[in-house]
Amino acid sequence: EVHLLQSGGDLVQPGGSLRLSCGGSGFTFSSHDMSWVRQAPGQGLEWVAITVGGGGGFYYGDSVKGRFTVSRDNSRNTLYLQMNSLRVEDTATYYCAKKIGYGYALDSWGQGTLVIVSS
């Protein structure tokens, strides 16, 4: 059974940093695209970033480009999101999700982790 287990959410001050983690099990982690999606309280979904399986590259949403870095450790089956220069508007529940490959969508999601940016 596919499982994505997230951790790392916390309360952080504006300008601070935080790293989120997402551990995968039940599938071949290295061959899957892994993505981050966030949802501000009471709002819709916003795509954040993706790391393409097999060394296919990294892509980011406009609002986080230059501040957030997505990475993965295939030996640990873990996805990361390093968030720097955090802003109040980054407050959201962050979800990790996986995608089998080209043509497919985000087919399994983590449980979400809450990041609050506030002074």
Q: Which residues bind other proteins (CB under 8 A)?
A: 35, 37, 44-47, 50, 59-62, 95, 97, 103-112
Q: Are 9 and 21 in contact (CB under 8 A)?
A: no
3-class DSSP state for residue 88? helix
Smallest distance, other proteins to C-beta of residue 32, A: 14
Smallest distance, other proteins to C-beta of residue 13, A: 26
Nearer to other proteins, 15 or 101 (CB): 101
Smallest distance, other proteins to C-beta of residue 48, A: 9
3-class DSSP state for residue 30? helix
Shortest CA distance to 7 belongs to which of 19, 21, 18? 21
Shortest CA distance to 93 belongs to which of 73, 76, 109? 109
Nearer to other proteins, 12 or 97 (CB): 97
Nearer to other proteins, 27 or 109 (CB): 109
Q: Which two tokens stand for residue 32?
A: 């899957």
